[in-house]
Amino acid sequence: MKLKRFSLVLALTFLISSCSSVFAKTNNETPPAIHGSAAITLDMETGEIIYAKDADGINYSKLKGTKGMYPASITKLMTALVFAENKDKLNLNTLKYNTWAEVQPEYSLKISFPTSKLKKGDSIPSEDAMNSLLLFSANDMAYVIAGNVGKSGSKDENSKEAIDNFINMMNKEASRLNMKNTHFVTANGLHDVQHYTTPYDLSLLGRAALKNNWISNTMKLKKADMSINGVNIPLENRNKLVGETINGALCIGGKTGYTSDAGRCLLAIFEKDGRKILGVVMNSVYDSKDSFVFEDMKKIINWSYETKRINYLKKDSVIGTTNLKYKPLKFLGPEKSLEVPLILKEDVNYFNNEINSKEIAKKIDTKGLSLKSLNIDKPVAKLVVSQREAVKSYNLYTNISKSQIIKSNIILYLAAGAVVLAIIVLIILIIFSIKKFKNRRTRSKYWS
């Protein structure tokens, strides 16, 4: 009896432990729930989307009746990118504080540091302008940059034309980066219903910004100082995660944002073991401790480093076939058709999320494939797998060789050989007959 009870307990223990391991695995594979309405993570090197929650803002836009989502001060990352790309071209070592900057609300240097007596016409070194834009998120500095970069000819940094020109430059840059669902109206991200974007589009912006050394070096700073009219201005990075680690992943930059319409927004970039992952969270909660959006980011970044790709196409599987037409006897005889199987020699994997599961696509490139190129040991075609910006090629092989084709046509080749041999014998016989005929005529003349 005791033995039966012991066996029952042992069986139950095994069952519970098995269930626990199953649930643990399931929980590990389930994307984390966050407060933000939409979010994304992106592998910076490959461009692969890892985590996605309404990454194109479609559900949010339908619910709110908007054209997109509002980026708030993450907009300043685009302002910084346009500035960085044009600084040396326009020789902008210093910028002039302008009329548009003077009327910007908090957070701005003029309002937050009144003792500096910042005013129109004051000179701002370009490095201080970039630091105050990305660290302190100064609303007025966005318009200092816009006016000075956008001015041309007789239109100075105080003109509306200069601002309009800069906004146009922002939208052109967005188009160049393939930010298809983005439209900018302001340089600092203050609310406007026509000023919108999506988490996915912001990930493209963040990826481009990190490639700019000036911006990437500025974003990773925790603090910086600048001086205005002899008054020291301490600048502190509003991204609380910068310089911090999440299970070994170091935050190397990013940009925060908030308006009442946009909610709390955050773009952050992390690096772990040489691998960089970018995250974007939009329309999160702005709680009293300002913690929710940062906790959201921690969750999706930690999950993104831990999750694994799933299989899309298996190694050694036939991906497709291509029809190859050829003439066994080249210029003579019938044309034949050969179905060439195209075989993958490695697994193709991808991150399973709401975007990739719908959009992942494959295309076979058989350019250059011919009878001569058939070789079982060398690639004969390419498989191109695309996941939006992430595109990767794989070699395709075949199991048909030229020797196999020769074997399959052996009867035809033998028949052709027999015909050729018969023709040669016939020619020889004709030549022999002609010679024999000539010899007879010669002897006939001799004896006559």
Given a cut of 70, whether residue 28 has pLDDT beyond it is no
Q: Contact, 96 vs 121, CB < 8 A?
A: yes
Q: How far apart are CA 43 and CA 53, in angstroms?
A: 16
Whole-structure pTM value: 0.84
CA angle 155, 148, 82 (to 5 degrees): 120
Q: How do residues 87-122 score in pLDDT, each as one tens digit?
A: 999 999 999 999 999 999 999 999 999 999 999 999
Q: Contact, 135 vs 218, CB < 8 A?
A: yes
End-to-end CA distance of the chain: 133
Which pLDDT value is given to residue 448?
54
Q: How do residues 137-180 score in pLDDT, each as one tens digit?
A: 999 999 999 999 999 888 999 999 999 999 999 999 999 999 99
Given a cut of 50, whether residue 10 has pLDDT beyond it is no
Mean per-residue pLDDT over the chain, rounded: 89
Strand, helix or coil for residue 83:
helix
Peptide bond before residue 312 is cis, with ω within 30 degrees of 0? no
Which pLDDT value is given to residue 12?
41
The ranges assigned to domains in the chain are 33-306, 312-403
- Mean pLDDT lowest for which of 197-206, 308-317, 348-357, 417-426? 417-426
Q: How far apart are CA 149 and CA 269, in angstroms?
A: 27
* Residue positions counted in the chain: 448
- Mean pLDDT lowest for which of 107-111, 339-343, 386-390, 437-441? 437-441
Q: Contact, 103 vs 163, CB < 8 A?
A: no
Any idea which residue has 């002897």 for tokens? Answer: 443
Q: How do residues 181-214 score in pLDDT, each as one tens digit?
A: 999 999 999 999 999 999 999 999 999 999 999 9
CA angle 360, 364, 366 (to 5 degrees): 165
Strand, helix or coil for residue 154:
coil
Q: How far apart are CA 62 and CA 34, in angstroms?
A: 20
Which pLDDT value is given to residue 336?
75
Strand, helix or coil for residue 262:
coil
Pairing of strands 310-313, 318-326: unpaired
Given a cut of 90, whether residue 429 has pLDDT beyond it is no
4-13, 322-331, 391-400: which is most confident? 391-400
Cα 405 vs. chain centroid, distance in angstroms?
42
Which tokens go with 51?
């985590």
Q: How far apart are CA 267 and CA 282, in angstroms?
A: 9
pLDDT band per the 50, 70, 90 thresholds, residue 355: very high
Which pLDDT value is given to residue 421?
65
Higher pLDDT, 328 or 56: 56
The residues, ordered by sequence, that sit 6+ positions from 73 with a Cβ below 8 Å of its Cβ are 137, 139, 188, 189, 255, 256, 257, 258, 265
Q: How do residues 296-341 score in pLDDT, each as one tens digit?
A: 999 999 999 999 999 999 999 999 999 888 666 665 666 777 889 9
Q: Contact, 169 vs 150, CB < 8 A?
A: yes
Please give the average per-residue pLDDT across 42-50, as a whole number. Answer: 97
Q: How do residues 228-249 score in pLDDT, each as one tens digit?
A: 999 999 999 999 999 999 999 9
Any idea which residue has 């001569």 for tokens? Answer: 372
33-306 is a CATH 3.40.710.10 domain: yes
Which pLDDT value is given to residue 442?
67
The residues, ordered by sequence, that sit 6+ positions from 152 with a Cβ below 8 Å of its Cβ are 161, 162, 165
Any idea which residue has 């899309």 for tokens? Answer: 312
Given a cut of 60, whether residue 13 has pLDDT beyond it is no
Higher pLDDT, 49 or 427: 49
- In Å, what is the CA distance from 91 to each residue of 17, 87, 99? 67, 6, 21
DSSP element (H, E) containing 60: helix 58-64
Q: How far apart are CA 41 and CA 280, in angstroms?
A: 6
